[in-house]
Structure 1
Amino acid sequence: MDILRFITAGSVDDGKSTLIGRLLYDSKNILIDQLEALEKQSKNKNEDGIDLAILTDGLRAEREQGITIDVAYRYFSTPKRKFIIADAPGHIQYTRNMITGASNSQLIVILIDARQGVIEQTRRHSIIASLLKMKNIVVAINKMDLVDYSEEIFNDIKAQYQLVAQKLGLPNVNYFPISAFNGDNIVEKSDKTSWYNGPTLLDFLENVEINQDKEVQKPRFQVQYVIRPQTEEFHDYRGYAGEVISGVYKKGDDITVLPQNIQTKISKIETGGKEVESVFTNQPAVLHVEDDIDISRGDFLVKTDDLPKVENEIEAVVCWLDKKELNEGNKYFIQHKSKVLKAIIKEIEYKIDVNTLEKTPINESVKLNEVVKVRLKTASPLVFDNFEDSRNTGNAVLIDETSNSTVGAVMIL
């Protein structure tokens, strides 16, 4: 089965944690002992006698305040698909957590309180979705039970959001009238919304198309580890282990080693301890090449006819994640999957207003949660694709040299 990674987003008290709890509860993914613990800890009980939000709100402070602070990940499966859910905070000061959770997600579920309609946080999370080039957007209009399941209110909010989606250029937006508290249109169709003819939320999540054709993706493989046993049994063995980031690799393919820009051929492919003829996206593999080349951790093996960019000066959008401010001239490590390089911020061009997407001039240092366009220079060439073309090879993180903290989420332009 394939895996769908998705994130829930919305303002405070829109019901994100309750929605995830409902998905887990109604799809029978909660164990009996978990149910017993839920019943004991529940304050805000529904008709089943439990508070479903507790399933994802793991921190004590979250349970006491009834809010989400950290990104919580939950896993469940149905006969059709496996799911990894990121429950992101709704508060403005946790925008960085939202971006962290969304960076690995293929789909975003934006919750809107049916009583409130589209608000500032809705627009902010939609803008983040557009910045991260999310391909699928689900708008779940929640708490329909508190507006008497009104079709008019649903259509009005849908029209409000369509204006936001149009302005941001969001593709594939789907709308659902739900009640996470009561379970309407989440796993089972609700008879209270007879005017709604679409699928339930779970039906949609089970069937939405998330994978591009694996044959047409740009072939990208980054070395994570060089296997060189140097034993009598494997005296001449030299394999390059990693995960196929995208595309297909076959025995005999012409490849280029980057950033060295040396051409060779694949002589052998192994996966799971066995020799195979080909490997494709997301498969772990060990590639062998015909020539003796100095290949190290972080180097890329790519098809010769479809090369990524190799540059040591790049433009990028950065979401700042640290309390220590960002300034021009600051030095960091940049980690691009397995590759770690030294980098310096050459220029901060402008700030992106996450409420309007407008570009504003930089008058002072960049503070926590702000999003900026920068130009940075690396100590040696970086191998990358544009973030818009490939999220996997177009993202990176900035790391503080002294504390080793991750301080910036980077989307390479």
Structure 2
Amino acid sequence: MVFLTTTLASALLLTLSLAAPVEEQHSKRAPAAVAAHQVLQLSRQLSTRPNRLTLGSKFRNLRSFAASADPQPAGLDVALPANQQVEYLLNVTAGGNNYSLIIDTGSSDTWFVKSGFQCYDYLRRKVALANCQFGPEFKGGFPGGRIENLHFNVSYGNGYSGPNLNGEYGYADLTLAGVTVPKQQIALATSGYWTGDDISTGILGLGMPGLTEAYNSSDPRLDSVTNAISYSPVVSTMTSALKIPALFSLGLSRKPEDSFLALGGVPANVKTGEYTTTPLLTWQSQKGGEEYFWYTIQTDEMVWNSSTISQQTSGSPRAIVDSGTTLNYLPYQIAEAINNAFVPPAVWDPQVGAYVTNCNATAPSFGIKIGGQMIWTEPSNMILPQLKNAQGKCLTGIADTDQEPYILGDTFMQGLVAVFDVGKLEMRFAKRV
């Protein structure tokens, strides 16, 4: 969930991704962000993008799809593109009421804004609730009862002046994608600084237990890894309570009819090319030892080509696959080079905190090799037509950061089927055809 620093209208960019690990979520139990000291070298080597599938490769891809071992999903629903296409929402039922939550693979807590929420600005001054721009507030208390002596405490943005929330924990039966997850631990946010979309009530955290944000201190200001209490988030509870396979799949698209979240499998009617598989990676925990926090993978190579530039990396970083982050956040040298390959070149706009270019610009072909297979991003995903700066220029889908871990957001995920296989501790990706 990355919040970009900007003076543009708050409804534009401060919601430009709600769930990105490093830029946004600062779990007190997760590893601290690591500055990138090594420069990734770029080389001018041509790597052409295939314009179309040959007959043979098309048949091979269809055979690969037919041989897929993923089960049919236990639940399926629309992942609705919303808020100028910078986020994806899912309808979730709790306490007999329906709410829209942001689908977030970059965090693990599922939370709703509680009725009576106290909104603050970034200077911690009390302001009207409307300033936080939430959708409908959660009605009533916890249907399954409150958890005493445990509180919710999460920070986003830069961890200091960025959005932050405090609240309570309790239980509720959650119905999502047609599946009712019993007695799920959720949070009700009671106070904090937030810049929402006037639609969503909170976040659906689809991450692993390592990123949960529960603490048992009497003063949230003292929260740290020493008083963090891990618990079972939605995907884990779904598996333990309902025996649904520990996986889910996302097929994000700017077209609502093509965009889905599936629990426990992959829809049979979704046609894809060949899947590539890569293991999930651990991080060094502040408690010592290795732990799974985000859906982190190793990228093998990045390639971008245009009519003026053809380049590729000679080394490639590990990255988080995060549906709650709109853009791809890459090392500065790579992000700058890719944006320079737009025709005309994209330039950094400090007012919006992102790269911008002509809305009708030609985006470069951009591919990321994962598990030995190149995955090409659709050029149309590289420009965000509904997000413009004061001069009418459109944002690109590539941003930079100087800290690990890097992020593959919606720009990368749109047009793919991404399988988050928690049971096998791996991810699978395939291009939709």
TM-score range, shorter chain: under 0.3
When you count strand as a share of all residues, which structure comes out higher?
2
Using structure 2 for the length normalisation, give the TM-score.
0.25
When you count helix as a share of all residues, which structure comes out higher?
1
Using structure 1 for the length normalisation, give the TM-score.
0.26
Q: Which has the larger radius of gyration?
A: 1
Bigger relative contact order (CA 8 A; separation at least 6) = 2
